[in-house]
Every structure is written in C-alpha cells, then in structure tokens.
C-alpha cells in the first residue's frame, strides 16, 4: 500500500499566541513547532498499516525550511521518505493545490492528513485535494481498517458516528482515536537522518485570500466568586445579571 | 446574483445554526445589493422550508432527489455548485458543521473559491471584501481579504444573533444533474444520540472533567444539564479514559463550542481545553481547587465539591 501523509508544522498546543510587525505576523520567538496533533494520528495509523500490510509511507509538508525538524520527526516515527514543498502556506486552497500537484501522478492508495490544522482550523484541505484529484473524501475518520481494496471507516458525526465502506484510493481527514500517537525511538531518530527528504518548488497559483492583520481576543473581566454554601446565588445571577438562563 | 445559503435541517426543522447563516447571508445580500436564496438538500417539508423567509431568504431551492436523503458532502457540493451557477451566486454562506465541512471543501475546490472558515462578523466591504474569523482555536482572530471572484463564508455557530420577521420564502424544487462518482461511499450504519441536546448546536453546555472521579458519577452533571436543557460535554482526559464518548470532548483537538453559557465542573482549565471553549459568552467554573487556572478565565466561580454544588444548582434551576 502506498500512503501519503500530509502534515502541518504548527505552534505547540500550549503556546500563547502573539503577533509582531503591527499584528501582521505570528510571533515565532520562543514558540516550539510540532506536527499538527491530528496529523500525528494520521501518520501513526499510516505507519501501522504499513507494518501490517507492507508498502510505503511518504510524508508531505508545505512549508519553509524551518519545518524540517517536524518532517524529520515524522521520518523517525516510521515514514520512509518525505517531500517538502518549499512555500509558506497561505490558505487551504494553496496548500491543497501543492499537495494535489505532488500526488497527481503518484497513484497513492491513501492520502491521509489531520481533520484540520490547529492554526487556521479550516478543516478544508483534504476535501479540496480530493476534489482536485477526483477522489472521494471522508472526514473526520476515527477508525480506519483496510480489507483488500476496501476501507472500513468510522466517521464522527454530530452526536454520534457512521460506519462507512469505500474503495481505495481515498483522501481522509483523521482524528483520535484512529491510532496511538507514536514517539520516535533512538533508532528511528538515527535512521531518519539518512531518509530522503526531497524539496520541490511550489506550483504557481492565484492568491485567493490574504490575511490583512491579526487580533487577540479582549481579556475577560474579573471572575465573580460565589461561596459554595450559597451556590443557588449562581443560578440567580445567571438568570438576572448574565441573562443566559 | 443572489447570495446563496446552504441550509441544514435537523429532524425536519431548520437547524439553529442554519437560521444564523440565513440571517447572515441576507445581511450580506443587503450589503451587496442583491437577494438571499437558500438551498437545502434531501427530504424536507415545504412549509418548514418557507420559514427561511423569517430570517431573510426570499427563495429556497429544494433538491429533493431521494438519493440525497443520506448526508453526503460530495453530492451536496455538486448540488450547491449547480445552484450557485443557476443563481449567478458569487457568495456562498453556510454554518460550520460536520456535514457542511465535508461539503464546503469540495465546493471550494469546484468553484476555486476564496474561503473563510469560522467567520464571526459581517464582512467589511470598505476596502475589498474582508471578514473576521476565529483562528488558533479561538486564541486569536484573522481579518481575511477574500480576493477570489467566488467567496465562501463558513459561519461559526452562535456568533450571529438572527432577527426574525413574519416573511415567508418561496420554495422551488431544484433538480440538478447528479454525479454517480459522488455516491461511491457507502454508509453502512449510523449511531446517533437521541433525546439529548446536540453539543455543537447547544446554547448551554455543562461540562465535566476528571474531578468527577468516574463515569458512574455523571448523573449529577446530566441532572443539571437536563434541568437547563443544556448539552453535556467533557475534557480530553475524560474521553481518553472512555468515561464519555469522543463527540463530547471539547477543546483544542475536540469540538469547539461557543455557547451562551459554559459550566465547567471539575476541570482545571488546561490551555488546550480553554482554546475550545473561550468564545463562550459566559463561563462558570466549579472546582474544589481554588488555584485551578480555569478560574482566571471564568466569569463566575465556585470553589467547592462538585458532588455537593451541582445538586444545589439543579434544584435552584428547577425552582426558577
């Protein structure tokens, strides 16, 4: 089985987000970048499928050279090789276009990625890639098993889940609990250094969107504490003061 | 040249989030000097569809082909793209949801659209077409200029308050050509919670964490939720422990909610949890640990044992 896993490089989930350059750029100072948490699940399942049935796992990132530590970590976890499209991601369509350009002639059985990135939260890239490649797309996938050329999938829906079957090839947006996150071991880290990481230039595209500037949320006011032995007061306040019940 | 609004139904009724999307779309239509047309897919009652007029739609297109009764993002994208072509729509509005996400991505690909997800305000048209969206799971906002000729706006739930009128919309059947390739995925079974308030649609949410000590203790949470007609939710550790189903997990890697009221019980308030709930209008934190970081992000707080506090709150709600 030939699997492509598309990963993002995003600020660690504990990062306090701030901006620089008159609120036009993310302040990367002191920020640790990690593989998108949902992408981590996609990669872990891809490596499991390879271990079960053979094949290859290629990791793809659209990003600058500063994303390479994240890509090397994916190689250490078990991917065989990697491609970096040498471009800063601008929006979902741009990223999808780069992924589709890499994938279009490569006949992947599965193209996996997280259900969404944790920076822009759009959850759109997998669907646009699938549309561009003329493939079915399913998201968010919680369970993925392969039986011959058929994928047996559990997808989360609002308030429940669906059991789905579909023929390969497919593009899937993944989330927990599709696999246990994998942590690279020392052998993996050593071998990752010699695995191929190909850098390709982006395909040309029209810029469909642009972020003019960013903004931080206004801080909340001070908390109003209510003694536990007067807990009923809370309900009165929610009813008469906050007017939410 | 209408603004086109994709509308979802839940048990035959317009979803609340779709009402918000219609109202939003109608406002955008007003701003751009056009009208608002809704498009809905699958089995639907015409009288209910006409109520889209209350929120500003003048017309509803109904694609009622039986093949569309099962939710199918791929096929729905084909239908909405055809509707956009028929109506000459260059702006498509919808509410973010599990189904809409699947549909929107395919639609963006078909229309080569500039897309803004998690939109929280009406656009600013004074210098281009700029919309504000929530990013970094609510930890920041972006002002996005949509430069493409076709624009898709996916509205974050509960951020737009619709106003209603007595107007009704005309309902027209819509039967575009469907692609066989959109029906290659086979849904074998669906399991959906019934009788409860769906978390992504909820105005009020009662959420609990490891402070509840085990799944057997969720009764106190459910009692308060039932009294408030609220949805129940949980922190990530709780869903990881299988105390509660994954679709109740709110946070950075779970469901993002923006209800009017979020009550957090026995949740310390890790930054990843806050990220998923910080756009709630009012946050209440109940925790026996006075140093729980969540109190710093709360509007109201009670330092106390959830097993003593929650039943008192439930009784107080019933007494209202």
The reply to whether B80 and B177 lie within a common domain is yes
The reply to whether B157 and B258 lie within a common domain is no
ipTM for the predicted complex comes to 0.93
CB A76 within 8 A of CB A192: yes
The reply to whether B214 and B66 lie within a common domain is no
The reply to whether B59 and B164 lie within a common domain is yes
CB contact under 8 A, A137 and B74: yes
- Residue ranges of A 111-150 with Cβ closer than 8 A to chain B: 118-132, 134, 136-140, 142
CB B208 within 8 A of CB B306: yes
Q: Which of B120, B155, B183 is the last residue of a domain?
A: B183
Paired residues of A112 in beta bridges: A5, A172
The reply to whether B170 and B242 lie within a common domain is no
- Residue ranges of B 60-89 with Cβ closer than 8 A to chain A: 71, 73-74, 77
* Structural domain containing residue B309: 199-319
* CA A217 centroid distance within chain: 24
Q: What is the CATH number of the domain that holds B58?
A: 3.40.50.620
The reply to whether B163 and B36 lie within a common domain is yes
Residue indicated by tokens 């964490």 = B209
* CA A64 centroid distance within chain: 17
The reply to whether B162 and B297 lie within a common domain is no
State the angle between helix axes of B219-228 and B306-318 in degrees (0 to 180), rounded to the nearest 10: 20
A14 C-beta neighbours (distance < 10 Å), count: 11
For residue A177, whether the previous peptide bond is cis, meaning omega lies within 30 degrees of 0, is yes
> What is d(CA A110, CA A173) in angstroms, rounded to the nearest whole number?
11
Grouping H, G, I as helix, E, B as strand and the rest as coil, residue A140 is: strand
> What is d(CA B246, CA B298) in angstroms, rounded to the nearest whole number?
24
Q: Is B217 among the domain residues?
A: yes
B264: which residues sit within 8 A by CB, 6+ positions away? B207, B208, B209, B277, B283, B284, B285, B286, B287, B294, B298
| Backbone CA torsion sign across A34, B97, B200, B184 | negative
A221: which residues sit within 8 A by CB, 6+ positions away? B299
> What is d(CA A104, CA A100) in angstroms, rounded to the nearest whole number?
6
pLDDT digits (tens, 9 = 90+) for B210-250: 999 999 999 999 999 999 999 999 999 999 999 998 889 99
The reply to whether B153 and B231 lie within a common domain is no
State the angle between helix axes of A37-53 and A68-77 in degrees (0 to 180), rounded to the nearest 10: 30
The reply to whether B29 and B145 lie within a common domain is yes
Domain boundaries, chain A: 2-218
> What is d(CA A67, CA A70) in angstroms, rounded to the nearest whole number?
5
> Which residues on B lie below 8 Å from A232 (Cβ)?
312-313, 315-316
The reply to whether B108 and B243 lie within a common domain is no
Q: Is B136 among the domain residues?
A: yes
Q: Which of B158, B183, B208 is the last residue of a domain?
A: B183
pLDDT digits (tens, 9 = 90+) for B97-127: 888 998 999 999 999 999 999 999 999 999 9
What pLDDT is stored for residue A122 in this prediction? 87
A194 C-beta neighbours (distance < 10 Å), count: 8
**The pairing of beta strand A9-11 with beta strand A33-35:** antiparallel
The reply to whether B164 and B291 lie within a common domain is no
CB B266 within 8 A of CB B286: yes
> Which residues on A lie below 8 Å from B298 (Cβ)?
220, 223
- Which among A20, A23, A103, A120 is the top mutation candidate for probing chain B, defined by the most B β-carbons within 10 Å of its own β-carbon? A120
Of A14, A121, A166, the CB nearest to B184: A166
* CA B72 centroid distance within chain: 18
CA distance B294 to chain A (A): 10
What pLDDT is stored for residue B195 in this prediction? 59
The reply to whether B129 and B218 lie within a common domain is no
CB contact under 8 A, B228 and A124: no
pLDDT digits (tens, 9 = 90+) for B8-67: 998 889 999 999 999 999 999 999 999 999 999 999 999 999 999 999 999 999 999 999
Kind plus residue range of the DSSP H or E element containing B283: strand B282-287
CA distance A43 to chain B (A): 16
Q: Is B7 among the domain residues?
A: yes
pLDDT mean across residues, chain B: 94
How does pLDDT run along chain A (245 residues), one tens digit per residue? 999 999 999 999 889 999 999 999 999 999 999 999 999 999 999 999 999 999 999 999 999 999 999 999 999 999 999 999 999 999 999 999 999 999 999 999 999 999 999 898 889 999 999 999 999 999 999 999 999 999 999 999 888 899 999 999 999 999 989 998 889 999 999 999 999 999 999 998 889 999 999 999 988 889 999 999 999 999 999 999 999 99
Q: What is the CATH number of the domain that holds B244?
A: 3.40.50.1220
Q: Is B97 among the domain residues?
A: yes
> What is d(CA B271, CA B73) in angstroms, rounded to the nearest whole number?
32
- Residue ranges of B 191-230 with Cβ closer than 8 A to chain A: 191-193, 196, 198-201, 203-204, 228
- Within an 8 Å CB–CB cutoff, is residue B296 touching chain A? yes
CB A125 within 8 A of CB A95: yes
> What is d(CA A237, CA B7) in angstroms, rounded to the nearest whole number?
36
Q: Is B237 among the domain residues?
A: yes
Nearest to B300 by CA among B276, B319, B282, B315: B282
Here the tokens at position B103 are 């549909």
CA distance A190 to chain B (A): 30
pLDDT digits (tens, 9 = 90+) for B166-183: 999 999 999 999 999 999
CA distance B159 to chain A (A): 14
Average pLDDT over residues B64-77: 93
- Within an 8 Å CB–CB cutoff, is residue B114 touching chain A? yes
- Which among B107, B108, B146 is the top mutation candidate for probing chain A, defined by the most A β-carbons within 10 Å of its own β-carbon? B108
CATH 3.30.450.270 fits A2-218, yes or no: no
Q: Is B193 among the domain residues?
A: no
Q: Is B35 among the domain residues?
A: yes
> What is d(CA A183, CA A110) in angstroms, rounded to the nearest whole number?
22
- Within an 8 Å CB–CB cutoff, is residue A194 touching chain B? no
> What is d(CA A84, CA A70) in angstroms, rounded to the nearest whole number?
11
The total number of structural domains in chain B stands at: 2
């Amino acid at each position: 089985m030939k699997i492509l896993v598309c990963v993002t490089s995003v600020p660690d989930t504990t990062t306090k987000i701030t901006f620089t350059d008159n609120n036009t750029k993310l302040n990367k100072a002191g920020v640790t970048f990690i593989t998108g948490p949902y992408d981590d699940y996609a990669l872990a399942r891809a490596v499991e499928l390879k271990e079960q049935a053979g094949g290859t796992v290629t990791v793809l990132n659209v990003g600058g050279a500063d994303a390479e530590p994240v890509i090397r970590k994916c190689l250490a976890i078990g991917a065989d090789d990697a491609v970096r499209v040498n471009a800063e991601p601008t929006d979902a369509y741009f990223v999808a276009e780069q992924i589709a350009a890499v994938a279009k002639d490569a006949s992947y059985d599965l193209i996996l990625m997280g259900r969404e990135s944790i920076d822009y939260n759009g959850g759109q890239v997998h669907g646009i890639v699938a549309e561009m490649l003329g493939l079915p797309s399913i998201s968010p996938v919680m369970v993925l098993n392969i039986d011959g050329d058929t994928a047996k999938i559990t997808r989360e829906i609002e308030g429940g889940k669906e059991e789905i079957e579909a023929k390969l090839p497919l593009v899937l947006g993944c989330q927990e609990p599709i696999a246990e996150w994998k942590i690279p071991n020392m052998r993996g880290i050593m071998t990752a250094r010699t695995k191929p990481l190909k850098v390709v230039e982006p395909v040309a595209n029209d810029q469909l969107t642009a972020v003019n500037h960013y903004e931080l949320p206004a801080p909340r006011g001070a908390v109003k504490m209510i003694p536990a032995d007067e807990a009923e007061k809370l309900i009165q306040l929610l009813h008469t003061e906050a007017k939410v019940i | 040249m209408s603004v086109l609004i994709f509308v979802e139904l839940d048990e035959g009724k317009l979803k609340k989030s779709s009402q918000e999307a219609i109202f939003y779309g109608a406002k955008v239509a007003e701003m751009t000097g056009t009208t608002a047309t809704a498009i809905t897919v699958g089995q639907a009652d015409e009288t209910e569809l006409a109520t889209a007029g209350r929120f500003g739609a003048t017309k509803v297109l109904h694609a009622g082909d039986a093949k569309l009764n099962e939710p199918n993002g791929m096929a729905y994208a084909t239908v909405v793209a055809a509707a956009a072509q028929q109506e000459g729509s260059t702006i498509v509005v919808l509410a973010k949801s599990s189904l809409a996400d699947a549909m929107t991505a395919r639609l963006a690909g078909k229309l080569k659209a500039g897309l803004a997800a998690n939109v929280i305000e009406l656009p600013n048209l004074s210098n281009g077409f700029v919309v504000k969206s929530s990013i970094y799971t609510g930890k920041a906002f972006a002002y996005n200029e949509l430069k493409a000729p076709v624009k898709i706006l996916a509205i974050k739930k509960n951020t737009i308050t619709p106003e209603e009128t007595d107007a009704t919309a005309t309902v027209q059947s819509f039967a575009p050509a469907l692609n066989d390739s959109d029906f290659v995925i086979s849904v074998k079974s669906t399991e959906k919670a019934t009788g409860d308030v769906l978390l992504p649609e909820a105005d009020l949410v009662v959420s609990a964490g490891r402070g509840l000590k085990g799944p057997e203790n969720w009764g106190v949470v459910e009692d308060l939720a039932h009294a408030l007609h609220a949805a129940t939710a949980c922190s990530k550790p709780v869903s990881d422990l299988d105390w509660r189903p994954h679709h109740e997990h709110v946070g950075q890697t779970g469901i993002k909610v923006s209800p009017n009221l979020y009550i957090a019980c026995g949740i310390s308030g890790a930054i990843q949890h806050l990220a998923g709930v910080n756009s709630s209008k009012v946050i209440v934190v109940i925790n026996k640990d006075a140093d729980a970081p969540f109190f710093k992000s709360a509007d109201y707080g009670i330092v106390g044992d959830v097993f003593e506090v929650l039943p008192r709150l439930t009784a107080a709600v019933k007494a209202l």
